[in-house]
Amino acid sequence: MVWRNQTLNLDFILLGIFDHRPTHIFLFSLVLGIFTVAFMGNTLMVLLIYLDTQLHTLMYFLLSQLSLKDLMLISTTVPKMAFSYLSGRKSISLAGCGIQIFFYVSLLGAECFLLAVMAYDRYVAICHPLRYTILMNQNAKICCLMAVSSWVVGASDGIIIIAVALSFPYCGSREIPHFFCDVPALLTLSCTNTLLFERLMFICCVIMLLFPVAVIIASYVRVIMAVIHMGSGEGRRKAFATCSSHLMVVGMYYGAAMFIYMRPVSDRSPTQDKMVSAFYTILTPMLNPLIYSLRNKEVARAFMKVLGKGKSGEQIA
């Protein structure tokens, strides 16, 4: 009970990823630039898909969900990191740490399942192009339910992880070797054996990572087989262009997540973990709107349409 009371009164110290050397100041400025691009890009995607009725299709609904998740994910970690670096106040309360863990874990889990749903959408689009509209209209409710379920499953995972992680007593050093409250980094401060919890995390990762990956691989095996049998070279090119962006995101996202969460705590390097975490919590949310959507002709048309309305409104005024 004494340890529990001490834990509840703790403020942790986030050591961060940068110091005040010139090189690190430049890198910090770069991160702020990436955050700005990611925030604006994902916000723009959500607004465009909401405002343009021609983008009210299942594919763009799923893309809007991805952009919303990325927007929330990057907002969970970067603002606190920037505030700590600029103000020098690196402390974070146990409650604040728990909130970061919940949103971070929930959004990661939700995005894993969403990417699997998007893989199924691409499979139908390429393997059954002439029936795509009919099939996806018939399955729209199921896919939308799966998208909503991704939020529910992610939130459930977040609740389980945070409930167990915050039940441990933390003693000794309060310094978390990370730029946000990541569960593996937090576990290194516990003064009890966390092996059972590490195994629970591994099982959760198998469900949250490997199951969606299996769905994605199965979908793209069918896609590749269909593309190989296409007679038209132009058809092959369009099909690969349709899927290459999704595979690029999947490779970056799942590869980094497996590297972080499917290794035992004893094998971790704080420096490696911080670098890889920065990659998929800061860089990937910026790349997603660029890779997936902003180069898309329909999205570009919607952007010019909204921009044209804005200019027309200014001229009338």
* Residue 294's pLDDT band (cuts 50, 70, 90): low
Task: Render pLDDT for 233-255 as a digit per residue (tens, 0 to 9).
Answer: 666 676 676 667 677 777 777 87
* Residue 205's pLDDT band (cuts 50, 70, 90): confident
The predicted model gives 124-136 an average pLDDT of: 74
pLDDT at residue 293 greater than cutoff 70: no
Q: How far is the C-alpha of 67 from the C-alpha of 73, rounded, in Å?
A: 10
Task: Render pLDDT for 56-110 as a digit per residue (tens, 0 to 9).
Answer: 877 888 888 999 999 999 999 999 999 999 988 888 988 888 999 999 989 988 9
**What pLDDT sits at residue 102?**
93
**What pLDDT sits at residue 269?**
72
pLDDT at residue 155 greater than cutoff 70: yes
Mean per-residue pLDDT of the chain: 80
* Residue 139's pLDDT band (cuts 50, 70, 90): low
Q: How far is the C-alpha of 240 from the C-alpha of 227, rounded, in Å?
A: 8
pLDDT at residue 3 greater than cutoff 50: no
DSSP letter at 266 equals G
Which pair of tokens denotes residue 47?
């607004």
**What pLDDT sits at residue 274?**
80
**What pLDDT sits at residue 299?**
79
Q: By the 8 A CB rule, do 94 and 12 touch?
A: yes
The predicted model gives 204-217 an average pLDDT of: 82
Helix/strand/coil percent split, the chain, to 5 = 80, 5, 15
Reduced to 3 states (helix: H, G, I; strand: E, B; else coil), residue 172 is coil
**What pLDDT sits at residue 317?**
46
**What pLDDT sits at residue 160?**
87
Say what the alpha-carbon torsion angle 64, 69, 73, 74 is, to the nearest 10 degrees.
Answer: 0
Q: By the 8 A CB rule, do 177 and 189 touch?
A: no
pLDDT at residue 28 greater than cutoff 60: yes
**What pLDDT sits at residue 4?**
47
**What pLDDT sits at residue 2?**
41
**What pLDDT sits at residue 34?**
92
Is 208 or 266 the better-scoring residue by pLDDT? 208
